[in-house]
Amino acid sequence: MQRIKRYFWGAAAAVAAAAGFTDPTWAADSIKIGEINSYTGLPAFTIPYRNGWELAVEEVNAKGGLLGGRQIEVISRDDGGKPGDAVRIANELVTSEGVDVLAGTFFSHVGLAVSDFAAHNQVLFVAAEPLTDAITWEEGNRYTFRLRPSTYMQAAMLVEEAAKLPAKRWATVAPNYEYGQSAVAIFKELLQAKRPDVEFVGEQWPALGKIDAGSTVQALAASQPDAIFNVTFGADLSSFVREGSLRGLFEDRAVVSLLTGEPEYLDPLKGEAPEGWIVTGYPWDQIDTPEHNAFIDAYQERFDDYPRLGSVVGYTTFKAIAAAIEKAGSTDTEALVDAMEGLTVSSPFGEIEFRTIDHQATMGAYVGKIALEDGRGVMTDWRYADGADYLPPDAVVAERRPE
């Protein structure tokens, strides 16, 4: 069994902990959030994500907590990237720990499993990171909300750029699980709607975390595409980039790539970052807005490190939960769900809204190109794509969502 980690912040609590005792009334009166994520499965994203939510919790508690002084207590567990383990943990958090809210998850299939648990057990679940469209559409439910821009939204942002390319013959490479399959399907659908002259001439579906980069690159090259749509990430992405560069796959070919501009995935490539790729990402050191500058300052002071996209996601997820609790005026689940619908929250990317129609937040993403600068990959020519501008009409959402 994974060890339970508790995070219970606030000046008084810190002093008490240092002295070796804790007032039992604090724990009894705390607002408990059960947090589940794949910390051992993808630490490059989830550790910065944890830093982000820790910072948010500290800020809320330092200002006096919620609902007249109640502190937030987070009980965090590692799901190991396994849906079955995530559901078991969610059940333990709700039945044994008495959490008021569930939050987190990274992988899409894990997020869907916890979402289903939330629906059947009528507990609020704020999905921080899983990108699958199904979590807010086909398998959406009253009790699940999602923060990050979905697969559909990010694919639509990239299609806007891909449609401008002269390329007609496209190949795709994506991990063979729900997220990858969904990303490829929606990219095809949206690109062909904008460019009926486009055809897809090859697909590669490596197992998640187990890519055979050599054979994948060879197969893609054999299909002779003009451009490639890439959905690999993490260690798979690094292997794919290195092998593709070695074999000349990217020469004179456009590559459009989901997530690759995020520091979690771009930074490990260092000088091997693939120049010219069109990506979604997070140019953290180039954004100059009041809300982002305030976040950067607080994050760097707290952790002596720069934020990754996961940091923004973790921070905003817990700020949203705190805002919902204050709006609801209680931790009653039905009141919290009602409060989440239409909730507006300030984030490092500006104000976002959790839509009533599908429980999807309007958080956007940055779209740009990869360039090399001082021996490392950076995003250039970027723009912020507001998530609200990349969602389909309400009638389409209504057809895809069962409620």
Residue 252 reports pLDDT greater than 90: yes
Q: What is the pLDDT of residue 23?
A: 37
Q: What is the pLDDT of residue 198?
A: 98
Percent of residues, the chain, with pLDDT higher than 90 = 90
The answer to whether the CB of 365 falls within 8 A of the CB of 350 is no
The answer to whether the CB of 34 falls within 8 A of the CB of 90 is yes
Q: Cβ contacts of residue 12 below 8 Å, gap of 6+?
A: 26
The pLDDT tens digits of the residues spanning 308-342 come to: 999 999 999 999 999 999 999 999 999 999 999 99
- Helix (H) / strand (E) containing 204: strand 199-204
Instruction: Kindly state the average pLDDT of the residues 264-289.
Output: 96
Q: Cβ contacts of residue 250 below 8 Å, gap of 6+?
A: 228, 244, 274, 276, 277
Residue 18 reports pLDDT greater than 50: no
Residue 11 reports pLDDT greater than 70: no
Which token pair is 239?
A: 């292997």
SS3 label, residue 59: helix
Q: Give one DSSP letter per residue of 278-309, joined into a string.
A: EEEE--TTT---HHHHHHHHHHHHHHSS---H
Which token pair is 12?
A: 């008084």
What is the pLDDT confidence band of residue 16, given thresholds at 50, 70 and 90?
very low
Which token pair is 133?
A: 């469209």
What is the pLDDT confidence band of residue 44, given thresholds at 50, 70 and 90?
confident
Q: Which domains are present in the chain?
A: 5-149+288-353 (3.40.50.2300), 152-284+365-400 (3.40.50.2300)
The answer to whether the CB of 261 falls within 8 A of the CB of 281 is yes
The pLDDT tens digits of the residues spanning 218-241 come to: 999 999 999 999 999 999 999 999
Which token pair is 21?
A: 């005792």
Sheet bearing 5-8, strands edge to edge:
5-8, 72-78, 31-37, 101-104, 125-127, 144-146
Residues composing the chain: 403
Which range, of 31-35, 112-116, 175-179, 271-275, averages the lowest pLDDT? 175-179
Between the alpha carbon of residue 268 and those of residues 45, 357, 369, the distances in Å are: 12, 38, 17
Helices (H) and strands (E) counted in the chain, each on its own, are: 14, 15
pTM, to two decimals: 0.91
Q: What is the pLDDT of residue 402?
A: 78
Strand partners, 228: 171, 255
Residue 15 reports pLDDT greater than 80: no
Give the dihedral sign, CA 190/191/193/194: positive
What is the pLDDT confidence band of residue 28, given thresholds at 50, 70 and 90?
low
Measure the CA–CA gap between 193 and 179, rounded to whole angstroms.
21
What single letter denotes the amino acid at residue 333?
Answer: T
Residue 9 reports pLDDT greater than 80: no
Neighbours of 122 (CB within 10 A): 13
Instruction: Kindly state the average pLDDT of the residues 26-50.
Output: 88
The pLDDT tens digits of the residues spanning 84-110 come to: 999 999 999 999 999 999 999 999 999
Q: Cβ contacts of residue 65 below 8 Å, gap of 6+?
A: 10, 31, 71, 72
Between the alpha carbon of residue 12 and those of residues 21, 22, 61, 64, the distances in Å are: 11, 9, 10, 11
What is the pLDDT confidence band of residue 6, given thresholds at 50, 70 and 90?
low
